[in-house]
Structure 1
Amino acid sequence: MDCKDILSQVKRIHFVGIGGSGMCPIAEILHHKGYELTGSDTNESDTLQRIRSYQIPVTMGHKPENVGSAELVVYTAAVKQDNPELVAAHEKGIPTVERSEMLGMVTKRYPNTVAVSGTHGKTTTTALITQIFVNAGIDPSAIIGGKLPFIGGNGRVGKSDTIVCEACEYVDTFLHLHPAISVILNVDADHLDYFKNLDNIIKSFRQFAMQTSQLLVINGDDVNSRKAVEGLTHAQILTFGLDAQNDYYAVNLADTKQACEKFTVMKRGEKLCDVNLSIPGKHNIYNALAAVATADYLGVAPACIAESLHQFTGVHRRFEVLGNFGGVTVADDFAHHPTELTATLTAAMNMGYRQVWAVFQPHTYSRTSMLLDDFAKALSIPDHAVLSEILAVREVNTYNIYAKDLAEKVPGCVWFPTFEEIAEYVMAHAQEKDLILTLGGGDVYKCANLIVRKYQEKGL
């Protein structure tokens, strides 16, 4: 069977790990296109409830019989090749494809695929563009890496030929995509366990840009992004940034209460619209400008763009405020790279809190080891830094790196092996008008939820 156009040859598809944030929206789209789906997972979640609401059968646990009469099996990247369902599929001769390959197959069916790439900001910018498009009546489908409250989930099935999705660079998964429009937000040193060096990352982004047919929306202030598209002429290039040399740029920047940003968007010297963001941080000016350039290119009215940007209140785990307890604000953020930590913690320090308590869960041994000094610099920004153990994810600690190694490089930093100990420590020290901010790409949100629960139990 030809895997390149397998969707036109099958009807019944089984998803291994169907509740994953990247799997659920793909399953929704295929369900609405008439495919018969089944799925399995090991954890109950909101996304699983959403899947079940479509009457898609979901089995808890991975067992060979779950594959059933499927003609194709889709699996998430977290699933190992010895998974019993993948083994059963191989034994039965059923084709299997990884999620990113399926994303490529699905988006090929949309003539207007908008793919958002970059080392940082993909989820927020994909969500921004989706919200603008929905308000503009474009009726897009969408695949977002986090929950967007505006659409009630991290995916959307529209009736138009437009789809907005994230394009992740890790292990070159975005090279399965051939978009009409691509956004490159930034190109930074990350995933060095795979890419080895920054030059290889830039080469991958260049290949991604070459696979884009119509328009490249590029951060003109970012040297590496410009390098990735240098000399390319096959697609139109629009640039955005704070420098007036860009096609779209911001002027009249003004901090508002809670460090949200107000600015005027200029388009080649002419005023396009005034923007008043409801999300904090200067990094979000860049995310917003990328969304503005993309929407304006597609003919969305400037007033609709500005209103949608103001209306946008963020995505799950992107500076998500979980509550205020006895005057202490608790928030959670996905930042797990030094550049992201720097942006988020700088924003937090400018939001008027008495003191900021940053609780960080380092994510992967390779990233922590290779970027140790950069992490130390970022974690020196808040008033207090508290670390958990390093989350291994897919790795073995061949780097001989531990949380204490990072803690020793950050003045006043402490670390604890469990979330329980972290929660007790920060709650014993945080005072009225302080911010407790958990950060990381793993399960540190559980620590934030634990802190919230403990405050609630105290009646705060």
Structure 2
Amino acid sequence: MRLHVVGVGGAGMSGVARLAWQAGHSVTGSDLREVEYEAIGVPKKAVKIYHGHNARNVSGAEAVVVSSSIPADNCEISEAFRLGIPVWSRLEALDRLLNEKEALVAVAGSYGKSSTAAMLSHVFYEAGFDPSVYLGAPLPNSMGNARLTEGNLAIVEACEYKDEFLHLSPTHALITNLSVNHEDFFGSGLSRIAHSFGRFVRPGGKSIKHLYYCRQDPGTIASQIGDVAGAVSYGDSEADCFAEISDVSNSGIWTYRVTLRGIRFSEIKTNWAGAHSARNIAGVVALCSDFGVSAAVLERSISSCPPLEGRFNITSWRGGYFIEDNARQPEQVAATVGAIRRWHRDARIVVALGHWGRLNRRATDQYVQALKSADIVLIAPSAPFELSCGGPEPPGSDIGFAHALRCYGIRAIVGPLSEFEPADFVMTGKELVFAVVGFQSFAPDFKVLKDKAIQNA
């Protein structure tokens, strides 16, 4: 079968192209930017990639795969419809590529999907299951973010945006949480997104046989799945599986004590940080143990699974530490700052917040509360940014946000990191923990700041 992938250069779509090629299909793709074959993970002659979108690119295709970010009036999509070529979403294509697997594990939720799916993939790989994998972020090992194997198990990160996850037919589903997200589609409240998750866990004829959900979810996903027979809960002390932080070392090794169905199951030491990681670990333990993975293998494999890029990545320097974290939602920002404070209680915490870190349609107070443990907050100026997850940033939103932080006694500064030196934030007698959160808004300037600190250490 010949598949054409629109937007093949993206992390998600390149994974679809790789899986389709590994499954023996003929694959072509197109992207507005130049795409390196190495980035897709296929030999140069294996996939034909067109630079730019053009209606003739779909000629001869038997199906066209598009991501939710591609506009409906794209010329290749329009041509596919004109020619009567089926147009599949990313997860619809994955469901077809993986439909012969005996077990398909879908990891869904407003956030924490990539981290949880990465842990699951690593554990099952170490346990000898040889899983097929599709994630939104590359694993820090040779598996990459997508691979097709002969094994009978597949793990898929299932995105809820535009109800895309409804195209999957999983046998197992793990729901990390439910939060206001993708407001351009679901709106600013929880009702529409909660309805979609309810449809996902009760998809009529495509019934999920095994369901795992987090009881600590503030978005009340539990109320959406309470009538699903046999659902396994995790997260708090009343759940089927519970992980609590028992220790954290100065070097950043976290120890989690895990209880499974009322019995002490294991103690796990890992670089995955914070209370949110404890919940993810509990979900992984609950699901993997039902597949027969032993406590010893779970301890060893979770401990050896490094955090993904942009997930509490630590760089040390003489004056303290730099942390890069992909936190965007208020709950994520609160978890990241809380983990830093738990790790170094007396440190001076400086948080650089990118424009993806504070969505314009959220209550500012949510982010203020999330940042209340920080000492200083640097805010990216909104003027250069026309779009964020919730739409255009209102003029002056950065100034208003800074004012709200100052009302809580937090020093707030609006401006690019390039204007500062590490020494600007050092306080005698205190370690400095400098964290950048958001969707890499500060990445170039942050690297310059890190390099300055390390060179002068």
Shared fold per TM-score greater than 0.5: yes
Please list the CA deviations of residues 156-197 of structure 1 after superposition, one character each: whole Å capped at 9, or x if unmatched: 222112111112222222212221111111222333443332
Q: Which runs of 5+ in 1 are unaligned?
A: 1-10
- Supply the distance in 2 between the matched residues of 1:451 and 1:239 (Cα, whole angstroms): 43
- 1:129-278 to 2 correspondences below 5 Å: 129-196=120-187, 197-211=189-203, 212-222=207-217, 224-233=220-229, 236-243=230-237, 245-250=238-243, 253-258=246-251, 260-278=253-271
- Equivalent residue of 2:125, what SS? helix
- Overall identity of the aligned pairs, in %: 25
Matched, 1:308 2:304: no
Tell whether the 8 Å contact from 2:417 to 2:442 is kept in structure 1 after alignment.
no
- 1:454 is displaced (CA, Å) by 5.6
Residue 89 of structure 1 is matched in structure 2 by 80
- Equivalent residue of 2:173, what SS? strand
Tell whether the 8 Å contact from 1:259 to 1:281 is kept in structure 2 after alignment.
no
Residue 361 of structure 2 is matched in structure 1 by 369
Matched, 1:27 2:17: yes
TM normalised by structure 2 equals 0.87
- Equivalent residue of 1:232, what SS? coil
Residue 374 of structure 2 is matched in structure 1 by 382
Residue 318 of structure 1 is matched in structure 2 by 311
- Supply the distance in 2 between the matched residues of 1:251 and 1:318 (Cα, whole angstroms): 19
- Equivalent residue of 2:135, what SS? strand
- 1:129 is displaced (CA, Å) by 0.3
- Supply the distance in 2 between the matched residues of 1:442 and 1:105 (Cα, whole angstroms): 33
Tell whether the 8 Å contact from 2:4 to 2:29 is kept in structure 1 after alignment.
yes
Residue 449 of structure 1 is matched in structure 2 by 447
In structure 2, what residue type is equivalent to 1:114? V
- Supply the distance in 1 between the matched residues of 2:197 and 2:247 (Cα, whole angstroms): 33
Change (3 A) 1:88 1:454: farther
Residue 105 of structure 2 is matched in structure 1 by 114
What is the number of residues matched between the two proteins? 440
Larger CA deviation: 353-362 vs 333-342: 353-362
Change (3 A) 1:249 1:237: same
- Equivalent residue of 1:216, what SS? strand
Change (3 A) 1:267 1:340: same
Tell whether the 8 Å contact from 2:37 to 2:43 is kept in structure 1 after alignment.
no
Residue 333 of structure 2 is matched in structure 1 by 341
Please list the CA deviations of residues 115-146 of structure 1 after superposition, one character each: whole Å capped at 9, or x if unmatched: 11122211100000000000011011111121
Change (3 A) 1:232 1:46: same
Residue 356 of structure 1 is matched in structure 2 by 349
Residue 58 of structure 2 is matched in structure 1 by 67
Matched, 1:291 2:281: no
Of 264, 273, 276 in structure 2, the residue corresponding to residue 280 of structure 1 is 273
Q: Which runs of 5+ in 2 are unaligned?
A: none
Of 415, 422, 437 in structure 1, the residue corresponding to residue 417 of structure 2 is 422
Change (3 A) 1:201 1:77: closer
In structure 2, what residue type is equivalent to 1:149? P
- Equivalent residue of 1:279, what SS? coil
Change (3 A) 1:53 1:326: farther
Residue 18 of structure 1 is matched in structure 2 by 8
- 1:279 is displaced (CA, Å) by 1.6
- Supply the distance in 2 between the matched residues of 1:371 and 1:45 (Cα, whole angstroms): 39
Matched, 1:404 2:399: yes
Change (3 A) 1:43 1:358: farther
- Equivalent residue of 1:203, what SS? helix
Please list the CA deviations of residues 305-363 of structure 1 after superposition, one character each: whole Å capped at 9, or x if unmatched: 11111111101111123x44554533321110000000011112233374222111122
In structure 2, what residue type is equivalent to 1:369? R
- Supply the distance in 2 between the matched residues of 1:318 and 1:252 (Cα, whole angstroms): 18
- Equivalent residue of 2:114, what SS? helix
- 1:409 is displaced (CA, Å) by 1.0
Change (3 A) 1:106 1:453: farther
Change (3 A) 1:103 1:351: same
**RMSD, aligned CA:** 2.7
- Supply the distance in 1 between the matched residues of 2:37 and 2:216 (Cα, whole angstroms): 37
- Supply the distance in 1 between the matched residues of 2:222 and 2:438 (Cα, whole angstroms): 28
Tell whether the 8 Å contact from 1:16 to 1:39 is kept in structure 2 after alignment.
yes
In structure 2, what residue type is equivalent to 1:229? I
- Equivalent residue of 1:149, what SS? coil
- Supply the distance in 1 between the matched residues of 2:42 and 2:158 (Cα, whole angstroms): 27
- Equivalent residue of 1:381, what SS? coil
In structure 2, what residue type is equivalent to 1:171? K
Please list the CA deviations of residues 86-107 of structure 1 after superposition, one character each: whole Å capped at 9, or x if unmatched: 3443444433223233234334
- 1:48 is displaced (CA, Å) by 5.0
- Supply the distance in 1 between the matched residues of 2:90 and 2:452 (Cα, whole angstroms): 38
Change (3 A) 1:145 1:49: closer
- Supply the distance in 1 between the matched residues of 2:396 and 2:200 (Cα, whole angstroms): 33
Tell whether the 8 Å contact from 1:330 to 1:448 is kept in structure 2 after alignment.
no
- 1:68 is displaced (CA, Å) by 4.3
Change (3 A) 1:160 1:152: closer
- 1:426 is displaced (CA, Å) by 5.2
Please list the CA deviations of residues 223-281 of structure 1 after superposition, one character each: whole Å capped at 9, or x if unmatched: 61221111223xx21111231x3211235723333454323322222222221122211
TM normalised by structure 1 equals 0.86
Change (3 A) 1:265 1:350: closer
Tell whether the 8 Å contact from 2:245 to 2:275 is kept in structure 1 after alignment.
no
Residue 332 of structure 1 is matched in structure 2 by 324
